[in-house]
Chains A and B, each alone.
Chain A
């Protein structure tokens, strides 16, 4: 398969904020809201989810250093008109904090999560939505925040 030449590269964003419980939980991670993605009949689609973390905070990477840490995880609706080929998480950083004996695998700042999709065989032409969830658990050097799940909704136009 001519992966690169056949791929339909799409990047999309806008701001989603964390729904803060009672308005008190600090906004730690925001993702840009995806714009409409056109899904050609026989081409792969790539969706880039851009995220940014509040300065001074980090989230565990998708491959945490310790088993007790909650990984960054993007999941997509299995019934969607697109089928996941691969999810690529940002390259983690190994960082040491006041509360860790050794460096741990984290992401911070701005990062992207890239998902490659193929069109599902039963996808009907027309508008649709692709829904996903981004789960993360964040800390700064003094405290940690309970795991959060952000809803992701990507408008599609199936050709």
Chain B
């Protein structure tokens, strides 16, 4: 587990982990594609039992968002992500929501029922969380380029504009 955490800390946040420990939002951006690390692949089921495999989205820009139903700041972002999905899907973009709720679909299913979430949502496993550094805090999002590499990472609530600017840069 420690190895996985260390790997992911390096993979995702670099020296920003100390910001999370201070309770401050943390971000890492790798503008140079050569500096980007490959996003760990995973296979998880969506609400309908369909397998969502990250590597199947190679060629698209992916916003991979770890969230939970009990996370207030996460709920601020979800309407933004719905909007992004609508605006940029045709340009090769998708959001994938990864719930870390301990109760799994029992918690997530009713939550989604009241919201018109238009992107794939899956329920996480401890193994997937470890691949991405463990869930220290939420929301935690990874913006992945068309080659499947992590271009930026955000932990904590950031602005809608921050996400949108980064998505556009990767789509252009």
Contacts and interface: CB of A to CB of B under 8 A. Distances in A.
Given A22-B2, A139-B72, 9 more contacts: A21-B134, A22-B1, A24-B136, A54-B23, A139-B71, A140-B23, A143-B137, A145-B136, A146-B68
List of 7 A-B pairs having minimum Cβ-Cβ separation, nearest first = A99-B72, A143-B156, A144-B71, A143-B137, A142-B156, A99-B73, A22-B5
Given A24-B20, A144-B137, A99 B75 contact: yes
Q: Which of B21, B71, B72, B76 has the most CB of A within 10 A?
A: B72
Contacts of A68: 69-70, 107, 111
Interface of A: 21-22, 24-26, 54, 56-57, 68-70, 97-100, 104, 137, 139-147
Nearest to B74: A144
B137 A145 contact: yes
Contacts of A139: 71-73
B70 A144 contact: yes
B17 interface: yes
B66 to A, nearest CB: 11
B150 interface: no
B72 A97 contact: yes
A21 to B, nearest CB: 6
Contacts of B111: 68
A142 B23 contact: yes
A5 to B, nearest CB: 43
Interface of B: 1-2, 5, 9, 17, 20-25, 68-76, 100, 102, 107, 111, 134-139, 155-157
A68 B69 CA distance: 6
Given A54-B23, A143-B155, A25 B70 contact: no
A144 B139 CA distance: 7
Q: Which of B73, B134, B135, B156 has the most CB of A within 10 A?
A: B73
Nearest to B71: A144
A57 B21 CA distance: 12
A110 B169 CA distance: 46
B72 A100 contact: yes
A70 to B, nearest CB: 5
A143 B157 contact: yes
B5 A143 contact: no
A141 B24 CA distance: 9
Contacts of B72: 97, 99-100, 104, 139, 144
B70 A70 contact: yes
B138 A147 contact: no
A1 B5 CA distance: 56
Contact of A99 (B1, B21, B76, B134): B76
A146 B100 contact: yes
